[in-house]
């Protein structure tokens, strides 16, 4: 029987870096770390278990680049040099396996609650905001934008110093960078708003600044949501954004699809999936990772056939840490949730993470 491409190695061409297979553990917030932003041993063990389970790339949970950008209790941070020693412990442990380790850099913007950060949430514009004591977000000033670029850059430098193989900019799911991209959340009429070129300027400045300040060998990628109607991100903009990003020589673009098999909302593309549309848009593209609702080896194979280079997974890897190692079996069909508390404890989730997973429909067996 032919072997699936998913278990074959993949090379990041710009830096000639090999990954053992085409699997990616997608970023998953797990709330297991300390209030001061230091990553805990529990969070390290959770990631290490998946690295031992054979993933090509391990992505950390979203990690905040500044105090103002924190969105959840128990989120680890990378906004201070005091975070570096524990992060080094993480990368050293992961590098004893064959996985690469990538940090997902993040600022919640309007979704960073004031009760967690102590600051009025900041965004592209002044918007209604439940998380703010004044009911509104603060529109970022030029000075704020400069600080945001610097915070992302300094965080990436700390990741490099801590031994990460690279970073993923979190520009998906409606957090700060996607608030700048969205037509409904970015109401500015200066250089940072209006045209797509202006709305993506913050992301591009951050990418350039990170590239200028860190060794060529560092992997720089970005995660985007190709369609989020509620904040005004549409597919045509996303296709054009991919063009802007490929010209910036990002190493990968990670498409967050939630369900890689569902068709786009866009009428002009309505018979195709987001992955097919994006990968079919340009001849030369950076590495494309796509994620959403993959469970079996067959699902993974189908996603590669849609044009993705690498397959990301979230929930299946919570219950099945060895998911990647099992893919040589073409009939691998891991059990779906709900999982018992005992199963999740064995899979190295601590009590806080397990109780967080109770918010996800039917994930934890009561």
Ligand X SMILES: Cc1cc2nc3c(=O)[nH]c(=O)nc-3n(C[C@H](O)[C@H](O)[C@H](O)COP(=O)(O)O)c2cc1C
Residues that bind ligand X (CB under 6 A): 26-29, 61-62, 104, 170, 172-173, 223, 256, 258, 291-294, 313-316, 360
Least distance CB 257 / ligand X (angstroms): 8
Least distance CB 275 / ligand X (angstroms): 13
Q: Which is nearer to ligand X, 138 or 220 (CB)?
A: 220
Least distance CB 61 / ligand X (angstroms): 5
Least distance CB 9 / ligand X (angstroms): 22
Give the pair of three-digit tokens for residue 142.
């030029």
Q: Which is nearer to ligand X, 33 or 193 (CB)?
A: 33
- What residues are paired with 134 via a beta bridge? none
Residue 294 in contact with residue 311, Cβ under 8 Å?
yes
Q: Which is nearer to ligand X, 26 or 278 (CB)?
A: 26
- Phi–psi pair at 195, nearest 5 degrees: -65, 165
Residue 303 in contact with residue 292, Cβ under 8 Å?
no
DSSP symbols for 260-315: TTSBPS-GGGTTSBHHHHHHTT-SS--EEEEESS--SHHHHHHHHHTT-SEEEESH
Q: Which residue is nearest to ligand X (CB)?
A: 314
Q: Which is nearer to ligand X, 174 or 193 (CB)?
A: 174
Distance CA 318, CA 39 (A): 19
Tell me whether the omega of the peptide bond preceding residue 338 falls within 30 degrees of 0, making it cis. Answer: yes
Give the pair of three-digit tokens for residue 336.
């779906």
Least distance CB 189 / ligand X (angstroms): 30
Q: Which is nearer to ligand X, 162 or 349 (CB)?
A: 349
């Amino acid at each position: 029987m032919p072997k699936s491409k998913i278990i074959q190695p993949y090379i990041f061409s710009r830096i000639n870096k090999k990954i053992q297979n085409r699997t990616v553990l997608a970023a998953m917030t797990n709330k297991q770390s300390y209030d001061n932003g230091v990553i805990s041993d529990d969070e390290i063990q959770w990631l290490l278990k998946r690295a031992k389970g054979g993933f090509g790339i391990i992505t950390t949970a979203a990690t905040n680049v500044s105090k103002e950008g924190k969105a959840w209790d128990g989120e680890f941070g990378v906004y201070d040099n005091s975070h570096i020693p524990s992060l080094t412990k993480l990368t050293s442990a992961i590098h004893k396996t064959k996985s690469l380790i990538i940090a997902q850099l993040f600022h919640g913007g309007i979704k960073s609650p004031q009760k967690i950060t102590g600051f009025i949430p900041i965004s592209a514009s002044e918007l209604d905001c439940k998380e703010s004591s004044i009911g509104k977000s603060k529109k970022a000033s030029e000075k704020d934008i400069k600080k945001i670029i610097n915070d992302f850059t300094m965080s990436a430098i700390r990741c490099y110093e801590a031994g990460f193989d690279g970073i993923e900019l979190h520009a998906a799911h409606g957090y700060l960078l996607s608030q700048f991209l969205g037509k409904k959340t970015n109401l500015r009429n200066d250089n940072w708003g209006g045209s797509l070129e202006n709305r993506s300027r913050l992301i591009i400045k951050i990418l350039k600044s990170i590239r200028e300040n860190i060794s060529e060998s560092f992997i720089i990628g970005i995660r985007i949501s190709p369609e989020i109607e509620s904040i005004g991100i549409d597919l045509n903009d996303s296709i054009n954004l991919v063009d802007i990003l490929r010209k910036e020589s990002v190493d990968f673009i990670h498409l967050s699809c939630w369900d890689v098999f569902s068709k786009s909302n866009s009428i002009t593309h309505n018979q195709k999936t987001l992955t097919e549309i994006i990968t079919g848009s340009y001849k030369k593209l950076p590495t494309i990772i796509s994620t959403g609702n993959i469970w079996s080896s067959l699902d993974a194979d189908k996603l590669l056939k849609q044009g993705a280079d690498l397959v990301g997974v979230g929930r299946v890897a919570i219950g099945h840490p060895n998911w990647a190692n099992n893919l040589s079996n073409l009939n691998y069909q891991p059990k779906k949730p709900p999982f018992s508390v005992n199963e999740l404890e064995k899979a190295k989730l601590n009590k806080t993470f397990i109780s967080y997973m109770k918010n996800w429909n039917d994930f934890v067996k009561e």
